[in-house]
Chains A and B, each alone.
Chain A
Amino acid sequence: GESVGLHLPTLSVQEGDNSIINCAYSNSASDYFIWYKQESGKGPQFIIDIRSNMDKRQGQRVTVLLNKTVKHLSLQIAATQPGDSAVYFCAETAGTASKLTFGTGTRLQVTL
């Protein structure tokens, strides 16, 4: 219901620290995963993706880790900045279809 949706998990980190955002997925057939960042009043923005044949992928200040055994995905943000404050979603898809299934999201708050 809406009361559940309002209580987004929140991660609060200090500027300059590293952030780790976690995501559990349930579909063992999922083979492609994406992390999105959504700022207030905007649509989701692609951050980084990973295919199921990999367990780690690095981008600029971001790293995604995939553990297929426990169906767990994490996003690591190095040297977190105020501009990183947003809601972060993981999304998964299976096969060649583009249909993405999004998780519920985590709100990242960066304190000065």
Chain B
Amino acid sequence: GDSVTQTEGLVTLTEGLPVMLNCTYQSTYSPFLFWYVQHLNEAPKLLLKSFTDNKRPEHQGFHATLHKSSSSFHLQKSSAQLSDSALYYCALSKNYNQGKLIFGQGTKLSIKP
């Protein structure tokens, strides 16, 4: 079946360093990919989605590129901020219905001063 894999359970970085969170997927179709962010005691919120009409999706300094050849959608940011500390989920959807999502296990990002 379809699946999403996030290999890192916890990533700890010093403020100002670049961020890269890994996401790979398996799917029998060409899915849509998403990144969600969840701050402590808050609801998960959409951060990025893969279908943005040929533009690289970017939000709050984060960006991600869908590579169909390697089935990856890694999340990157050039310089980490303390406020980026949160739980990040990669997810896929097989069609226009974005709510029916398959999520990875999540990566906790911890930024230290």
User: Do these two chains interact?
Assistant: no
Residues of B within 8 A of A (CB): none
Interface residues of A (CB under 8 A from B): none
